[in-house]
Amino acid sequence: MDNIALNGVVVLDLSRVVSGPYATMLMADMGARVIKVEMPGVGDDTRKFGPLIQGESPYFIMLNRNKESITLNMKSPRGKEILWELVKKADIIVENFRPGVLERLGFGYAELKRVNPWVVLGSISGFGQTGPYASRAGYDILGQAMSGIMSVTGWPGGKPTRVNTALCDILSGMSLAVGVLAAYSRAVKSGIGQHVDIALVDSGVTALSTINHIYLSTGVVPGLTGNRDGVLAPFASYACKGGDIIIACGNDKLFGELCQLIDRPELAEDERFVSNEARMAHNDQLQEVLEEWLADQTPEEAVDRLLAAGIPAGPINTIDKVVADPHIAGAREMFPHIHHPVLGEMRITGSHLKLSDTPTGVRKVAPALGEDNSRVYCDLLGMDGADLEALRAGGVI
């Protein structure tokens, strides 16, 4: 196992649903030993997220690959004792309770670092550990709404729209992974851990960095622009025969090459289109010109012609096309096959992290609830079979 990047790193995963499990999934993909702590008899909420197939949730299976699952009632006195023993073994702890919950359980960062000064605690919450909103419950849709993402997503004249994925959950999970691994790197050198505080709403705000600057520098509040970019043109979706495509000209040189391709070289010198600023001001007219050229071409034909001329372009894929794409699904291996003990052969979304010497991958399918109780409690903490039976009888595991 030496050829995995985080070999030997022990992550105690107290999180559930999406944001925390996504962060620990990334670390598990890179080789960390992630021990997922779940409530006895219940487990992570996502075990019941649909669509359920033969009682199993692909949602849970994707987010929790490469992890071990133990059950532990952290509210029971014996459960707390065991959790402290696990804390001593951990390099990183991840949680996404509402701020204050971990402290009420007796496991706040001040207590954790007294027992294990090395440990890094990573926390994800809706609004962070500090500030007037800290105690509020947080969900992805609130992060998208309150960060401003929804206010710039949708078509002019329409209503603000949620991005149809758990965007702030995923962004906060990625951010937590980056933060805790940075803190862990420092702990390796100094022997001192720290608390990493990530908020869904902050993650949404930072995703808007290139849009926030419009207001911060001009005072103009960005609004709904459909598929058009806020600062570049042509940089949007355009109608063809039977569908739409994306054309993305990020500079004047590319626009000039586009004008040559559509047999309208004079447009590069037209005062309406001579600069990006001018093109933005005349975006409607520019769209009419391009869609006139595209009118008798299918999306496939148009994309082929654009790419051959060096113009960045691409189709707007539905998910079935993404999963069959020879680059994304083939060369980039973004939908690997796994064998699940109940569902058999299936595909999941794979890792986007491509490391040349320490490859990521699915080494272990998502665990059944408490599947690794014996492995963790006996091998890691030195318990025996009798101890486990006593814990089960007492409702601790």
Active site (catalytic) residues: 169
User: How far apart (Å, rounded) are the C-alpha atoms in residues 388 and 68?
Assistant: 17
8 A C-beta contact, residue 257 and residue 265? no
User: How far apart (Å, rounded) are the C-alpha atoms in residues 60 and 359?
Assistant: 23
365: Cβ contacts below 8 Å, ≥ 6 apart: 61, 65, 338, 339, 340, 341
Using left for φ > 0, alpha for ψ between -120 and 50, and beta otherwise, residue 139 falls in: beta
Evaluated on CA atoms 96, 102, 105, 108, the torsion sign reads positive
User: How far apart (Å, rounded) are the C-alpha atoms in residues 104 and 54?
Assistant: 38
User: How far apart (Å, rounded) are the C-alpha atoms in residues 290 and 235?
Assistant: 11
Q: Among 370, 371, 324, 362, which residue's Cα sits nearest to residue 63?
A: 362
Alpha helices in the chain (DSSP H): 19-29, 58-63, 77-89, 101-104, 109-115, 140-147, 167-190, 200-207, 209-218, 252-261, 276-281, 283-294, 299-308, 319-324, 373-374, 385-393
The CB-based long-range contact list for 345-349 (8 Å cut-off, 24+ gap) reads 346/58, 346/61, 347/323, 348/58, 348/61, 348/62, 348/65, 349/62
